[in-house]
Structure 1
Amino acid sequence: MIRRALGMLVAAGAMLLVATPATASGVEPLPRAHAHNDYEHDRPLLDALDHGFTSVEADVYLVDGELLVAHDPEDVVPGRTLQSLYLDPLAQRVRAGHGHVYPRSRQRLQLLVDIKNNGVATYTEIDRVLRGYGKMLTTYHKGKVKPGAVTVVISGDRPRDLMAAQQKRYAFYDGRLSDLGQGGASLIPLISDNWTNNFTWLGEGEMPEAERAKLREIVATAHRDGQRVRFWATPDTAGPAREALWRELVAADVDHLNTDDLAGLQRFLREHDTERAAA
Structure 2
Amino acid sequence: MGRSLLFLLTVLGLVAGAAPAAAAPDRDRVRPLARAHAHNDYEHTRPLFDALAQGFTSVEADIYLVGGELLVAHDPEDLDPSRTLRSLYLDPLRERVLRNHGVCPGFRDFQLLIDIKTEGEATYAALDELLRSPRYAFLWTRYAFGRVWHGPVTAVVSGNRPRATMEAQRTRFAFYDGRIADASDLGPGSDARLTPLVSDNWTKLFSWTGAGPMPADERAGLRSIVRTAHRAGQRVRFWATPDVLGPERDAVWRELVAADVDHINTDDLEGLAAFLR
State TM-score, norm by structure 1.
0.87
Alpha-carbon distance in 1 for matches of 2:168, 2:275: 41
Counterpart of 1:14?
none
Which residue does 2:126 correspond to in 1?
125
| Partners of 2:145 and 2:171 in 1: CA distance | 6
1:82 and 2:90 matched:
no
User: Are 1:233 and 2:240 an aligned pair?
Assistant: yes
**Structure-2 separation of matches of 1:51 and 1:106:** 14
d(CA) in 2 for partners of 1:226, 1:151: 15
For residue 180 of structure 1, the aligned residue among 182, 186, 195 is 186
State the SS of the aligned residue for 2:143. strand
**4+ runs deviating over 2 angstroms:** none
d(CA) in 1 for partners of 2:40, 2:145: 33
CA contact (8 A) 2:141 2:155 kept: yes
Q: Which residue of 2 aligns with 1:102?
A: 104
Give deviations 1:145-168, integer Å, cap 9, x for gaps. Answer: 000100000000000000000000
Q: Distance in 1 between matches of 2:139 and 2:127?
A: 15
> Is the 8 Å Cα contact of residues 236 and 261 (structure 1) preserved in structure 2?
yes
Report the 3-state secondary structure (helix = DSSP H, G, I; strand = E; otherwise coil) of the residue aligned with 1:61: strand
Q: Larger % of helix: which?
A: 1
Which stretch shows the higher mean deviation, 195-204 or 173-182? 173-182
2:170 aligns with 167
Identify the match of residue 144 of structure 2 among 141, 146, 170.
141
1:248 maps to 2:250: no
Q: CA–CA distance in 2 between the matches of 1:191 and 1:96?
A: 31
Equivalent in the alignment of 1:9 = none
Q: How many Å separate the matches in 1 of 2:26 and 2:129?
A: 28
Q: Which residue does the alignment assign to 1:5? A: none
Match of 2:266 among 236, 259, 279: 259
| Amino acid paired to 1:87 | L
**In 1: Cα distance, 2:82 partner to 2:132 partner:** 20
Distance 1:45 1:154, change over 3 A: same
Equivalent pairs, count: 248
CA distance in 2, matches of 1:214, 1:265: 24
Q: Which runs of 5+ in 2 are unaligned?
A: 1-24
2:236 matched to 1:215?
no
Matched residue, 2:114 = 113
Q: Is the 8 A contact 1:29 1:107 kept in 2?
A: no
The 8 Å contact of residues 57 and 104 in structure 2, kept in 1 or not, is answered as no
The 1-side partners of 2:107 and 2:269 are apart by 21
Mapped to 2, the partners of 1:27 and 1:168 lie a distance apart of 34
Q: CA deviation at 1:106?
A: 3.4
SS in 2 for 1:129: helix
- The alignment's TM-score, normalised by the length of structure 2, stands at 0.88
| 1:47 maps onto 2:50 in alignment | yes
Q: 2:42, 2:139 → 1: CA distance?
A: 21
1:180 Cα deviation after fit: 1.3
Task: Tell me if the contact between 1:36 and 1:56 (Cα under 8 Å) persists in the aligned partners.
Answer: yes
Deviation at 1:24, TM superposition (A): 7.2
What is the aligned partner in structure 1 of residue 16 from structure 2? Answer: none
Q: Paired residue for 1:189, among 168, 176, 196?
A: 196
SS at match of 1:77: coil
Identity %, equivalent residues: 64
Whole-angstrom CA distance in 2 between matches of 1:141 and 1:76: 34
Please list every run of 5 or more consecutive structure 1 residues that lacks an aligned counterpart in the other structure: 1-21, 271-279
How big is the shift at 1:107?
3.0
- Supply the AA of the counterpart residue of 2:132: R
The 3-state SS of whatever aligns with 2:132 is helix
